[in-house]
Structure 1
Amino acid sequence: MAAGTAEAARGGGGPGQEELTALAAEAYVYGYPLVSGLSLVESCTQEGFGALAPAPFNHFSHADRPERPDAYPGFGGGDTVCSAAQLDLSGGPLRLHVPDTGGAYYVLQFVDAWTNNFAYLGSRATGTGSGDWLIVPPGWAGEEPGGVRGVIDAPTAVVSLVGRIACDGPDDLPRVRALQEQFSLTHVEPGTHRTGLPAPDTDVPERLAFFERLRVWTADFPPAAADRAYQDRFQPLGLLEEGPSPYVSAGPALVRALAEGMTQGRARVVAAGRSGAPVGGGWEMDPHLHDYNLDRFEVGTIDSTEWKISDREASYLVRAVAARQGLWGSHGYEVACAHTCQDSDGNRLHGAHSYVLRFEQPPPAGAFWTLTTSGSPESRPVGNPADRHAIGDRIPGLVRADDGTLTVHIGGERPAGPAAVNWLPAPDGEFRPVLRLYTPGRAALDGSYAFPAVELRER
């Protein structure tokens, strides 16, 4: 390995410059999820993330409020309160306790170091009752303790646990906060427990830092066996070398190939960005953005061809796009999100106007549905007396017509009369409504549900 890399770094032997650059671009696409995901793990443990305060490994961090839909970064959309825990299983299994939520929706999503969603606990997957679960590291062969509902076998020693609890508004926060305090993680086996990620070599130049992180973290968190043959192709780049970093004093040919390859790989990921498939009424939805997990299906996942990308190599690019657009997002069978940016005439939605959205049939969601508005970076959220940033089927007092039709009023100005209950404020600039379906029904996924168009009220 070292000889091949050294030859490439000197520019003699091994792959040519163009081939080396193309290989670096492929390595960027392949490794971007690992680097971005574990970089976020570091942020969560050191600086925090969004509404979540920093917390050490194997401890929960809980948000104290729903995140505004326009907040970035963050995991929420104004309808749930988030929790997260970064797990380090190198010291042995962890026992996770989940409380009884009394029938209220919640989900705990397990994400491995490569950003694969490999397990779910919660309303859809395991119900809302209390219980304990054992989370074990790769290759663990210990004895299962008594009193656990099941074992979750982690593909990597570091796992991100992302939780969301449904919240019906400010008055519901005390209930949610009380539930959060009941989630716990405890070590099962005595001993020393590592609390950190392997450190890249700080002497590596910044322009090569991505590949240094990929090299170090790949060694500690190997991918699924089926990915390793593909990963072996990156040997000429030095990504498989152990010990001292080959990037501290890399030759000019290798430096140029890695820098140019990263630029090309990043452009490839950006170009492959996905907005979703049309689902009617000007709406788009992409419930299959996170279907790249092909190997590990623990509790709560659906192991079927419908939710797996058939081409393994194609899944690497989808995985990179998902990491860029929706890192740690859920499978579409847990939460499906539809969005639009246009009215029924095809014009861009803008907060200077008022709109209506008429649901003749409620959105098909097994748990609940919520509509929020997301503005452009230059748009400003509109304040409102109720501090409302989401509307959905859990809002008390929504006004419906005699035939059951629900008309949501969207805009910067609060409508007069009873319609005010059905008002969803919009930013003052361009915006897009986002419709979240928690545990979406089959009609939402197979295209049989007719998403209504957003209609301009001012004609």
Structure 2
Amino acid sequence: MNKLSNSGFRFALAGVLTLGLLVAGGKPAAAAETPPVTLSTAQLKAIAEEGFVYGLPLVMNYAIMNEYAVNKNTDQFKAPFNHIKNEPRVYTYKDTAVLSPNSDTPYSLAWLDLRAEPVVITVPEVDSGRYYSVQLVDGNLYNDGYIGSRATSNKAGSYAVAGPDWQGGSPEGVGKVFHSTTPFMLVIFRTQLFNPKDMPSVEKIQAGFNIQPLSAFQNKPAPAAAPVIDFLPATSAGVKTHFWSYLSAALNYIPESDKDKDIRAKLAKIGVGPGKAFNMNSLSQEQQQAMAEGMKAGDAKVDEFVARGATDVNGWQVGSLWGDSDFYNGDWLKRAGGGKAGIYGNDAAEAMYLLGRTDAKGQTLDGSKHNYTLTFPAGSLPPVNAFWSVTMYYSDSQLLVENPINRYLVNSPMLPDMKKNADGSLTIYMQHKSPGKDKESNWLPAPDGPIYLALRMYWPKPATEDSSVLPPGKGTWQPPGIVVAN
């Protein structure tokens, strides 16, 4: 799902939650009283800055988990744990929980609860030539593995996913065991849709996706159920105001590791951690100000990293900020950059995301000021094994753009219906108003204001090919720049 915000978070000191949290076992724990903070304002600011960078993607993920799998009263709710929610549609401007969602592949989503036993994911055979993927993302925001066209082929199969406490071996009947570093994991199924009439075929594939406990898969007695958890309520909109309370809640379900033990020890000094309740009111005005300044500094550091962590190629930012535990290796700034740029992004081998906020001359894209074109020369479309797309977003919210023709992207399956230029090149018209009926087949509606674009390349050609976007920022293929229309 995916990408990029330079607008930054704005933090309010008033109204920060001071609620008690719950331990992983599920029974209410009395809020640990926060001892008087004796740290200096400089120390507080430093911890807040480092803690924000470490915690941002964890907090975002915790809020989305609440909206998708816990709070049935939210309009973003999908399904309870260990159940699949198939979306027989592509995402639109009405989908607001996740930044920069794709609108290419109907999603199927499932949050796994791995505390009692592993869960088995079964996929059907998918017709040749149709891309699909199953991405496994744990609470640390690590991509722990893939099932699908690139990773395991389009053949049918069953795969087990085990939590951090699982001690068993490889169960009989499964092709592979994936290991999550946390007891809760998000599974994102993406199934390629060729055109609106193709939706019944996608729905048939989605109906073949199945999730079940290992015991049910093996027809064995189930182990004791894990305790019910009364999660601290959280929303994506609340991340700004309730950051530290959400972070404490998220850390209840993220086992400490050698990589993060130092930052977690620092957070504990200000009352943030498993079973703790951060109380902003326990701090003096000077200390509260230091915390706010530290958070803003951390946010600015993340934005700066995202801006410089990619290579500028003709105005597009080309890079990759998503991967597994080894990919991040304790680099919390890189992980925060991935969360801020577009949470739940894929590994580069699975999908590349080229992000655009400026034209080829480095000027900010703005649909209220200009019309734009993007032209791929003949024979130089994005090199992929699956498909590519260019998706339009509002720059400030990173959500899909409401428009009169309900078109949120232009992608390679649309090529037969698009018009090519006399020289064989392909021009996409990106503007707020229609470019005219004769050009509407190539029109990507833009907002009446700042623009944010994502060029997605699913299953990009490997670096060994003559034309490839890989390795990120250094590939032999380069995207053309966006230009102001004449």
Interval of TM-score (by shorter of Structure 1 and Structure 2): 0.7 to 0.9
> Which residue is equivalent to 1:382?
403
1:290 deviation in Å? 2.1
**Structure 1 pair 376–227 and aligned structure 2 pair: CA distance change class (3 A):** closer
**Structure 1 pair 184–236 and aligned structure 2 pair: CA distance change class (3 A):** same
Report the 3-state secondary structure (helix = DSSP H, G, I; strand = E; otherwise coil) of the residue aligned with 1:176: helix
1:175 deviation in Å? 1.2
Aligned-pair Cα RMSD in Å: 3.6
For residues 352 and 23 of structure 1, the distance between their equivalents in structure 2, rounded to whole angstroms, comes to 42
Task: Answer whether contact 1:335 1:437 (CA < 8 A) is retained.
Answer: yes
CA offsets per residue over residues 369-397 of structure 1, 9 Å max, x none? 1122223459963323xx43322221133
1:55 deviation in Å? 0.8
For residues 349 and 126 of structure 2, the distance between their equivalents in structure 1, rounded to whole angstroms, comes to 21
For residues 170 and 358 of structure 1, the distance between their equivalents in structure 2, rounded to whole angstroms, comes to 25
Please state if 1:186 is matched with 2:208: no
Please state if 1:431 is matched with 2:445: no
CA offsets per residue over residues 96-154 of structure 1, 9 Å max, x none? 11122213111111111121111111122111211100111213123543221111111
The total of aligned residue pairs comes to: 425
Task: Answer whether contact 1:269 1:317 (CA < 8 A) is retained.
Answer: no
1:157 deviation in Å? 0.9
Task: Answer whether contact 1:111 1:160 (CA < 8 A) is retained.
Answer: yes
For residues 355 and 201 of structure 1, the distance between their equivalents in structure 2, rounded to whole angstroms, comes to 43
Please state if 1:223 is matched with 2:242: no
**Structure 1 pair 429–248 and aligned structure 2 pair: CA distance change class (3 A):** closer
Task: Answer whether contact 1:380 1:429 (CA < 8 A) is retained.
Answer: no
Report the 3-state secondary structure (helix = DSSP H, G, I; strand = E; otherwise coil) of the residue aligned with 2:79: coil
Question: Structure 2 regions of 5+ residues with no counterpart?
Answer: 1-31, 216-221
For residues 51 and 108 of structure 1, the distance between their equivalents in structure 2, rounded to whole angstroms, comes to 24
Counterparts of 1:52-451 in structure 2 under 5 Å? 53-68=77-92, 71-74=95-98, 76-103=101-128, 104-142=130-168, 144-189=170-215, 190-194=222-226, 197=229, 199=231, 210-239=243-272, 245=276, 247=278, 251-252=282-283, 257=287, 260-261=290-291, 263-273=293-303, 274-275=306-307, 277-287=310-320, 289-291=321-323, 293-295=324-326, 308-309=327-328, 312=330, 315-344=331-360, 347=363, 348-350=365-367, 353-360=370-377, 361-376=380-395, 381-384=402-405, 387-395=406-414, 396-401=416-421, 404-411=424-431, 412-417=433-438, 419-441=439-461, 442=463, 443-444=468-469, 445=472, 446-451=474-479
1:346 deviation in Å? 5.0
With the length of structure 2 as denominator, give the TM-score of the two structures: 0.76
Q: Percent identity?
A: 25
Task: Answer whether contact 2:356 2:453 (CA < 8 A) is retained.
Answer: yes
**Structure 1 pair 151–38 and aligned structure 2 pair: CA distance change class (3 A):** same
CA offsets per residue over residues 215-272 of structure 1, 9 Å max, x none? 4542442133332244334442344575xx465798546x974774255124412442
Paired AA for residue 83 in structure 1: S
Task: Answer whether contact 1:382 1:428 (CA < 8 A) is retained.
Answer: no
1:199 deviation in Å? 3.8
Report the 3-state secondary structure (helix = DSSP H, G, I; strand = E; otherwise coil) of the residue aligned with 1:41: helix
1:328 deviation in Å? 1.8
**Structure 1 pair 20–452 and aligned structure 2 pair: CA distance change class (3 A):** closer
For residues 368 and 232 of structure 1, the distance between their equivalents in structure 2, rounded to whole angstroms, comes to 45
**Structure 1 pair 342–194 and aligned structure 2 pair: CA distance change class (3 A):** same
For residues 157 and 219 of structure 1, the distance between their equivalents in structure 2, rounded to whole angstroms, comes to 10
1:362 deviation in Å? 1.0
Task: Answer whether contact 1:373 1:390 (CA < 8 A) is retained.
Answer: yes
1:21 deviation in Å? 4.2
Report the 3-state secondary structure (helix = DSSP H, G, I; strand = E; otherwise coil) of the residue aligned with 2:428: strand
> Which residue is equivalent to 1:39?
63
Question: Structure 1 regions of 5+ residues with no counterpart?
Answer: 296-307
> Which residue is equivalent to 2:4?
none
With the length of structure 1 as denominator, give the TM-score of the two structures: 0.80
For residues 361 and 179 of structure 2, the distance between their equivalents in structure 1, rounded to whole angstroms, comes to 51
